[in-house]
Amino acid sequence: MEQRLMTSHSRAKSKEKNEELYEPSKATRLFIVWRKLKTSKMALAGFGIILLVSLLALLAPVIAPYDPNAIGRVRVPPSTMHWLGTDAMGRDMFSLILYGARISLYVGVAAVLLEILFGLAIGMTSGYFGGIVDEILMRLTDLIMTLPTLPLLLVTVILFEQRDVNVIVLVMGIFGWPFMARIVRSEFLALRETTFVEAARSMGATPWRIITRHILPNILSTIIVIGTMDIPWYIFWEATLTFLGFGDPSSPSWGVLLWRGYIHFRMEWWIITFPGLALFFTSLGFNLFGDGLRDALDVTTRGR
């Protein structure tokens, strides 16, 4: 009697263990992703930075000690009155940088959203219709992808009369879709051949339903990773364009701050160091997080 009890007990225990090997539910999958992210300290650090920057940006009106456009004593080095000093016109650097964060974040996210919009649309259209449509679209994609970014951006930005940050966002988003479109297209093509899509089709699902219910959710993780990894690039290009003097001179964008610092430079290192540091940290944060996200979601991105 005792023997048999012990046997069923040990068998029950291992049965539980074996259950773990079965296919986890969606909630479990999310949990696994979160756990993987947590173990990567880099990704966590990146996320922390992003959170910090976002908070600072959001709370800028509250936190900023001065109005960013208020003019005061010029070229003051970092001190108790002005933590990060003032620039050539006497504006407080700290406040400027805080407001600049808003611009950078806005640019990054808005451009990525545009990129996703266009990339998804074009990638899926190309994949879905195939044939000549696909050929033309892919040739176009290749073309734009290989053209040098800065010249392209420069040429288009100067077409607009206004020097507005939205112009830059628009231009970047318009030229940013090729990479996303390519990846979307290849994933789409791969997924189209899967058995579960075939099953859905044989059950009479309309193409729209197949796309939205079956294909899109699976492309989602790739899109998220690529988008996250592209945000720092858009921030960078906006900063580059404005640094080179093509931005709105009155905006607190970090690139503009650097441009102003560069033009009026005498010996005031703080005017250049801090906005640049801000840029650097924000970019670092997104890159760290994006890397970790890619590993956690197991996405393969050829290139970049």
Partner 1 sequence: MSESLLLNINNLKTHFVLAEGVVQAVDGVHLAIGKEEVLGLVGESGCGKSTVALSILRLIRPPGKIVGGEIWFEGEDLLRKSEGEMREIRGGKISMVFQNPTSSMNPVYTVGSQIAEAIKLHQDVQKRQMKEKVVEILHKVGIPDPSKRTEDYPHEYSGGMCQRAMMAMALSCNPKLLIADEPTTNLDVTIQAQILDLMRTLRKDFGASILLIGHNLGVIDEFCDKVAVMYAGKVVEYSDITTIFKKPKHPYTQALLESIPRLDVEKERLRIIPGTVPRLIDPPAGCRFHPRCEYAMAVCGEQEPTPVEVGRGHTVACFLHTSEG
Partner 2 sequence: MTLRTFVIRRLIVVVPTLFLISIAIFSILHLAPGDPAQAIAGRHGVSREVLELVRVEYGLDQPIYVQYFRWLGKVLQGDFGFSYLNRAPVMNLIRPRIPYTVELMLVAEAVSVVIAIILGVIAAVKHYSILDAVSSLGALVGYATPNFWVSLMAIIFFSSWLGWLPKGGVGTIGVTFPSPFHAFLDHLSHLVLPTSILVLGWTAYLFRMVRSSMLEVLGQDYIVTARAKGLKERVVIYKHALRNALLPVVTYEAYSMGFLLSGAAVIESIFSWPGLGQFMVEIAHKRDYPTLMGLTMIIAVMVLIANLCADIAYAIVDPRIKYE
The Cα–Cα gap between 72 and 296 comes to: 49
Contact by Cβ (8 Å): 188, 124: yes
Quick check: 139 binds partner 2 (CB under 8 A)?
A: yes
Quick check: 133 binds partner 2 (CB under 8 A)?
A: no
Quick check: 149 binds partner 2 (CB under 8 A)?
A: yes
Of 58, 74, 133, 143, the one binding partner 2 (CB under 8 A) is 143
Q: Which two tokens stand for residue 10?
A: 């040990």
Quick check: 232 binds partner 2 (CB under 8 A)?
A: yes
Q: How far is the CB of 12 from partner 1 (least distance, A)?
A: 9
For the beta carbon of residue 235, count every other beta carbon within 10 angstroms. 25
The Cα–Cα gap between 186 and 58 comes to: 37
Choose from partner 1, partner 2, none: what does 156 bind? Cβ within 5-8 Å by kind.
Answer: partner 2
Closer to partner 2 by CB, 186 or 273: give it: 273
Catalog residues that contact partner 1 under the rule CB under 8 A. Answer: 2-3, 6-7, 10-11, 14-15, 17-18, 21
Fill in the amino acid letter for 184. V
15 by Cβ neighbours in 10 Å (0-12 / 13-18 / 19+) ranks as exposed
Left (φ > 0), alpha (ψ -120 to 50) or beta: where does 204 sit? Answer: left
Q: Which of residues 242-271 bind partner 2 (CB under 8 A)?
A: 243-246, 258, 261-262, 267, 269
Quick check: 161 binds partner 2 (CB under 8 A)?
A: yes
Q: How far is the CB of 220 from partner 2 (least distance, A)?
A: 23
Choose from partner 1, partner 2, none: what does 160 bind? Cβ within 5-8 Å by kind.
Answer: partner 2
Contact by Cβ (8 Å): 211, 124: yes
The sign one gets for the Cα dihedral 301, 189, 115, 294 is: negative
Choose from partner 2, partner 1, none: what does 10 bind? Cβ within 5-8 Å by kind.
Answer: partner 1
The Cα–Cα gap between 192 and 207 comes to: 11
Q: How far is the CB of 39 from partner 1 (least distance, A)?
A: 8
Measured in residues, the chain has a length of 304
Binding residues for partner 2, rule: CB under 8 A, are 42, 139, 143, 145-151, 154-156, 158-161, 232, 236, 239-240, 243-246, 258, 261-262, 267, 269, 272-273, 275-276, 279-280, 283-284, 286-288, 291, 302-303
